[in-house]
Amino acid sequence: MSELLDIQTITKICELVERESGIHLDLSKEYLLKTRLAPFIKKHKFGTQIDFTTQILANPKYLHEVVELLTTNETYWFRDDRLWSILQQQLIPDLLDDLIHNRRRNVSIWSSACSTGQEPYSIGMSIMNEIDKRGISKDYYRLFRILATDLSDNNLHHAQKGIYSSAQMQRGTTEDHMTYFKSTHNNCHQIHPELGQIIEFRKLNLLSPFHYELDKFDLVFCRNVLIYFKEDMKNEILKKIHNTMESDAFLILGSTEAILQDQLFTFEPRYKNICYKKRLNT
């Protein structure tokens, strides 16, 4: 089976994935590509390299399946302790204070690459916990809106169902978080409906002109995503994200990601430089 995936074929697959998703893969990911594509090749019984590449090019369904296989990445709850500590202790309380004192009418948050849902649900749990901790009306839940988007249909289907195995739950949750879940059959856990109500899931490709179709956001999460794009595409995505943000909005990236486009964003020292603030007049 691996003989179907020679260097030339892998290079062609990488080009197709980048064309469809913008995500840059290369021969350094050869083992990952072969591992993820092996079940696909077996399932569809491709016999030759020519058959394999020709079928993918000719059949949108096959191409979609390949893109799904190669662009889905593992995730977990409350990823990056430092980020969530500052988010829960400073940023979310500040946003809630703005609502309480009528400095904002609502708060819109965008999780731009939500994968199987752990990030937006983690955000939602943090918001609800802060409201509950203060003992104020649960009506404040509905003043927060989280849009969660992803390129993958499979990811979005999983996220919308909000059902997670015990193994998935062990990756980042604590006993305190279990109040936001209910147990289901087969030792799985499902998101509480009250949490699900503040989150909307939607398919979105970051290569598309999404800045024309989205509302304005107060807080944008684009974590561990830009590292998969070439520099020119990354800059274009950042420009579009900038256009979706309110004048006082913040952008949160992954811990290993950085922005060199200082004409668009600047570090926010108030939150210990975990996020960028939108620059105006750019």
CATH of the domain at 49: 1.10.155
3-class SS string, the chain: CHHHCCHHHHHHHHHHHHHHHCCCCCHHHHHHHHHHHHHHHHHHCCCCHHHHHHHHHHCHHHHHHHHHHHHCCCCCCCCCHHHHHHHHHHHHHHHHHHHHCCCCCCEEEEECCCCCCHHHHHHHHHHHHHHHHHCCCHHHHHHEEEEEEECCHHHHHHHHHCEECHHHHCCCCCHHHHHHEEECHHHCEEECHHHHCCEEEEECCCCCCHHHCCCCEEEEEECCCHHHCCHHHHHHHHHHHHHCEEEEEEEEECCCCCCCCCCCEEECHHHCCCEEEECCCC
Quick one: pLDDT at residue 85?
Answer: 92
Residue 48 pLDDT: 66
In a domain, 211, yes or no: yes
Q: What domain range includes position 260?
A: 81-278
Q: Identify whether residues 215 and 272 lie together within a single domain.
A: yes
Listed residues 71, 101, 123: the one ending a domain:
71
Q: Is residue 76 part of a domain?
A: no
Residue 9 belongs to some domain of the structure? yes
Q: Are 67 and 112 in a shared domain?
A: no
Same domain, 161 and 179: yes
Query: Number of structural domains, the chain?
Result: 2
Same structural domain, 125 and 35 = no
Residues 99 and 53 in one domain: no
> Is residue 104, in this structure, part of any structural domain at all?
yes
Determine the pLDDT at residue 1.
46
Is 66 found in the same domain as 157?
A: no
Q: Is residue 32 part of a domain?
A: yes
Per-residue pLDDT of the chain (282 residues; tens, 9 = 90+): 456 677 887 888 888 888 878 777 777 778 777 888 888 878 887 766 666 777 777 788 888 888 877 776 768 999 888 899 999 999 999 999 999 999 999 999 999 999 999 999 999 999 999 999 999 999 999 999 999 999 889 899 999 999 999 999 999 999 999 999 999 988 899 999 999 999 999 999 998 888 778 889 999 999 988 888 888 888 999 999 999 999 999 999 987 777 765 789 998 888 877 889 998 765
* Residue 127 within any structural domain of the chain: yes
Same domain, 205 and 248: yes
Residues 60 and 160 in one domain: no
Does 206 fall in a domain? yes
CATH number, residue 190? 3.40.50.150
pTM value is 0.84
Same domain, 37 and 114: no
Same domain for 60 and 147, yes or no, is no
Residue ending a domain, among 53, 71, 89, is 71
Looking at the structure, tell me whether residues 65 and 92 fall in a common domain.
no
Residues 176 and 221 in one domain: yes
